[in-house]
Amino acid sequence: MSERLKVNVTSEFGELEGVIVHTPGLEVEEMTPETAKRALYSDILNLAVAGKEYMQLKGVLSKASRCFEVKDLLSDVLSNDLVRQKLLQEICTAEKALDILPALLEIDAKELARQLIQGVPIKRDNLTRYLSQERFSLTPLHNFLFTRDASMSFCDEVVIGKMANKVRDREALIMETIFNNHPLIEARTLNPLNAEGLTPGKKIMIEGGDFQVAREDVLVIGTGIRTSTEGIDFILESIKAKKEKIHHVIVQELPDMPESFIHLDMVFTFLDRDACMVYEPLILGTNRYHTIHIQIENGEVSSIQEEKNLPEALKKLGMDLKPIHCGGSKDIWTQEREQWHSGANFFAIAPGQVIGYERNVNTVEELNKNGFEVIKAEDYISGKATLPRNQKCVITIAGSELARGGGGARCMSMPFRRKAIEW
């Protein structure tokens, strides 16, 4: 067996060494205009086009790092009968489908992994099921290509997401099962559902799109429609329990609308030690959305105060980041258009070397003006272009169809291991 990979993420931009993705499959084509809203989509995707675009992202990640597919990792752990029994019991109980549990237990691991992601078709063997308007006993996981949300790495731990919408709960169960049981990955998991003293009805929600690791001692977390203040309090309690040196949590409040503000990484992402991508009207503009700095020391909150904005709060902690504007800095309409299509959503494979959509031409131009060489993903994958050593660059992937799903390169990647940054 290969050497185990220990989870270790102490920044958003350390050199990537391990990442988990999910290539979109038939679960995407199982959406209809009628079910899209329930699936949290505003439109349905053309898999033939989206799939080709996704392969550019996966091609870049596979060349830069060890890249793992959710379905392969899930198939591996489902070969263990005890793991299979526990996961299926949890899923079928939560989704009120215990009647199909015996049949699922008999399916081979590879096919079971596929069905748990792409959906278990309803067996119309009685009147109720025959007349049912549903196509599945377990619905497809339409959102699983956004692997970022269901789990999030911080140092040597993996926080399991407490999803805001029940249609995504199975994603978190699957990721927890992988991290707890896969022989190739060494991880400690932290699940809000297992929190001691959890108050019944307490609305804990936390998703990876809102969770960013600035530095080993600094977290930046968004709070809005997908991550609640109670979810952030859970993170604070887990840090306090360690009773370690000073830690900082900077909280950015997000508006409920428009839907493109769904997560913090749709308006703010780290690019390097000295640069970040921002949607200027929200992150730097004058608005009513709070930026709160919480300091934890020796197991207690030692201070909590409001800051002017995220870059200013980080600067006080020794991280002087130049904000680069999503959509450029000339026209707010252009900024709005490109932010809508994940123009602020970048994923770093190394310090200053990031992946984003080529369709956001003004954002890419702004990066270029700030010293980022522009490299097409297809050229990097084919070997026609190489990444400049220790220099900034943006690798552009096609996104005419993928972007319509409501996420970018960061949304579609779950890093669990990065090299430490030399500050």
Instruction: Quote the pLDDT of residue 285.
Output: 87
Phi and psi dihedrals of 269, rounded to 5? -145, 150
Geometric angle at alpha carbon 307, from 155 and 207, rounded to 5°: 40
The pTM assigned to this predicted structure is 0.94
pLDDT band at 43 (very low <50, low <70, confident <90, very high): low
Q: SS3 of 221, please? A: strand
Q: Is residue 39's pLDDT more than 60?
A: no
If you average pLDDT over residues 47-56, what whole number do you get?
A: 94
Task: For residue 69, list its beta bridge partners.
Answer: 21
Least confident of 53-62, 279-288, 334-343: 279-288
Q: Is residue 259's pLDDT more than 80?
A: no
320: which residues sit within 8 A by CB, 6+ positions away? 274, 314
DSSP structure string for 234-287: HHHHHHHHHT-S-EEEEEEE--S-SGGGSSGGGTEEEEETTEEEE-HHHHTS--
Q: Is residue 122's pLDDT more than 70?
A: yes
Instruction: Quote the pLDDT of residue 379.
Output: 98
5-418 maps to which CATH number?
3.75.10.10
Q: Convert the pLDDT of each residue in 67-89 to its tens digit.
A: 999 999 999 999 999 999 999 99
Instruction: Quote the pLDDT of residue 150.
Output: 97
Q: Is residue 199's pLDDT more than 70?
A: no
pLDDT band at 270 (very low <50, low <70, confident <90, very high): very high
Domain boundaries, the chain: 5-418
Q: Convert the pLDDT of each residue in 385-404 to its tens digit.
A: 999 999 999 999 998 888 88
pLDDT band at 218 (very low <50, low <70, confident <90, very high): very high
pLDDT band at 200 (very low <50, low <70, confident <90, very high): low
Cα–Cα distance measured from residue 220 to residue 229, given in angstroms and rounded to the nearest whole number: 13
For β-strands 120-121 and 136-138, DSSP reports them as: antiparallel
Instruction: Quote the pLDDT of residue 78.
Output: 98
Mean pLDDT of the chain: 93
pLDDT band at 240 (very low <50, low <70, confident <90, very high): very high
Instruction: Quote the pLDDT of residue 288.
Output: 81
Q: Regarding predicted confidence, which is higher, 127 or 287?
A: 127
For 8, how many CA atoms within 13 A lie in the half-sphere containing its CB? Answer: 11
Q: Convert the pLDDT of each residue in 150-198 to its tens digit.
A: 999 999 999 999 999 999 999 999 999 999 999 999 999 999 988 755 5
If you average pLDDT over residues 141-156, what whole number do you get?
A: 96
